[in-house]
Every structure is written in C-alpha cells, then in structure tokens.
Amino acid sequence: MPRIAPIGSRIARYMDVPESAKGPAVDPAKGYRLQDLGEGLFVITDNAYQSMFLVYETGVVVVDAPPSFAGHIRQAIAEITLKPVTHLIYSHSHLDHIGGAKGLGGHPVIVAHEETRRLLVRANDPNRPVPAVTFRDRFTLRAGSRILELSYHGNAHEPGNIFISVPASKTLMVVDVICPGWMPWRRLSLAEDIPGYFAQVEEIRHLPFDTLVAGHVARTGTKADVELQSEFLKDLKLAAGQALNTTKPGEGMDPRDMANPWALFDNYTDRVMVQCVNTLTPKWSTRLAGFDAFIWDQCYAMEQSLRGD
Ligand SMILES: [Zn+2]
C-alpha cells in the first residue's frame, strides 16, 4: 500500500516545509521583496513568483512581469532608479509569468524567442503584447555597457522557453525547470517534453553561475539546488523504470475485468505508481519540500514518458 496519500484523497495535513526551502519574508505592506544580485541586477519576488530587472546607464531592462505582482514592478524599480524601462524580455509565453506586461506602461522593446512570438500571436492576449525582436538560437542584448545573453536550448517546459544569463552578476535565469528546495511543480513542472526537460537540467548543471533565478518559490537557487534536482530526477527515472519492469498486468484482478483494457491498464498503472512512490519516499520525502503533494504526479509523468518517449 502507498505510504503517501494518493492523488484525490484529501489528508488532514501535509508534511512540514523544510527550512532549506524557505526564503526571506515579504513585507505584506509592500507585497514584494527586492534582492540585490550585484552589478545593477535585482530580483523582484512575492515569494511565489520571480522576475528581474537590470539597471544600465540610461534605462532599465525587465525580465518577465508575473501578474501576481506586476502592479509593484514600477514601484520596486523606483526604489533603485527613476530611469525608464526600455526593454522587456519574456522568458516564455505563459500567462502566469508575463501576463502583467501591459501593466508595466511605457513602450519597452519586447524581446523573446521566435516560438514565444508564435504562441503569443495565437493567444491574441492584449495583456501579453507580441515581441518586436525575436531570435532563434542566441541573442546578445547590449544595454549601455551591460550585457544579457539569451539562448535557446530546445523544448522542455514549453517551446520558446529561454536561458537568460547576466555574466557580470554571475546569474542565470531559467523559468519553470528547477524548483530550488522543492519537488518540481506537478508533472515535472508541466514539461511538454520530458526527455528535453531532463537534458535541460543537465545543461543548467554545467553552466557557470552563482545565482539561479528559477521564476518560482521563496528564494533564488544555487548550483547545489540544481545538483539535488538532477539527483532526484535520476532516482525518479530509475524507480519508475524498475516499477514498470517488475509489475505484471492483470495480477490480482477480478477475471471479469480482464477483457476491459482500460481497467487492465488502470490497475497496472496504479500498482506501478505505488511501487514508484514507495521507492522514493524514504530518501526524498524530507529532502524536497512538497514531496507528498506532487510525488504521484512525478511518477505518472515519468512512467508515461518511459513508455512513450
Ligand atoms: Zn511556464
């Protein structure tokens, strides 16, 4: 039987969030917190979402505008400088990270990957203006003497999701791939391409940076967070693979259900999932926050990928 309550069964209380997953508090009167990453680069966060801005000689470059605190971005910038926002970079097309773009005001030049442009043309959302400048593989944004290196590493979370590096601040921003201190968001952070997602985590591991801005959770990330997520993913793949290899379809089923392929598969998958979750629980339930909330989702996503990809 499962040691972690399955999806759909409500439990009295979830596991405690370990200290390693927590970050500095947000002043509720302000609704956001600023983090100085050095050399004019700042993170703005409400401890659920993260965006960045870079101050240069004559203006400000903003990366992402999550609707959850987009109304505070101008105020946050005004704490540091009164220079105008000249550029807005989209990490990817998802509404929850850029849906506050219109609210920034002014007329910043919007930069994004060409796939993001395609998705935003389709979305036709007035709150997510279509980017004016797009690129395919790499793009260097020079803002005064400051440099942002944008690069595309293929589909993982969604097509067009880019890496944004600010070398002078030793900072890398990649959104919706790594969850510092936490279990990935459900179904491997909703990865559209799971082999691509595994590959991107390894690429991030090998890039030079001190600070990872991951787009979510209450703190920024480090190399150690990427190492931990990489280790978890390897264990997940192994656990799901072993469960698939050692589970026999139909075992213990009512013979009357054996001619029902949907039932046969539901019963099989259920036993694979229980084994996968039970295998991972002893090592990981206290190391990553939110293990009990989303471990079933991770096993389902992994099992499906291993059979199909
Ligand atoms: Zn996303």
| Among candidate residues 53, 59, 61, the one with its CA nearest the CA of residue 35 | 53
CATH 3.60.15.10 at 20-222, yes or no: yes
Residues 153-167 have pLDDT tens digits of 999 999 999 999 999
- As residues whose CB is below 5 A from the ion ligand 1, the structure lists 94, 176
State the DSSP H helix or E strand holding residue 172, giving kind and residue range, or none if neither. strand 171-173
Residue 290 tokens read as 């939110």
How far is the centre of ligand 1, averaged over its atoms, from the C-alpha of 91 (Å)? 9
How far is the centre of ligand 1, averaged over its atoms, from the C-alpha of 11 (Å)? 28
Confidence grade of residue 6 (pLDDT, cut at 50, 70, 90): confident
Residues 89-123 have pLDDT tens digits of 999 999 999 999 998 988 999 999 999 999 999 99
Average pLDDT across the chain, whole number: 96
How far is the centre of ligand 1, averaged over its atoms, from the C-alpha of 43 (Å)? 18
Residue 92 tokens read as 């990817």
Q: What is the pLDDT of residue 269?
A: 95
d(CA 259, CA 268): 14
Instruction: Please answer whether residues 253 and 264 qualify as being in contact, where contact means their C-beta atoms are separated by less than 8 angstroms.
Output: yes
Instruction: Please answer whether residues 61 and 143 qualify as being in contact, where contact means their C-beta atoms are separated by less than 8 angstroms.
Output: yes
Q: What residue spans define the domains of the chain?
A: 20-222, 234-308
Q: What is the pLDDT of residue 1?
A: 67
Can you tell me whether residue 63 is helix, strand or coil?
Answer: strand
CA distances from 70 to 64, 179, 213, 221 (A): 9, 21, 17, 22
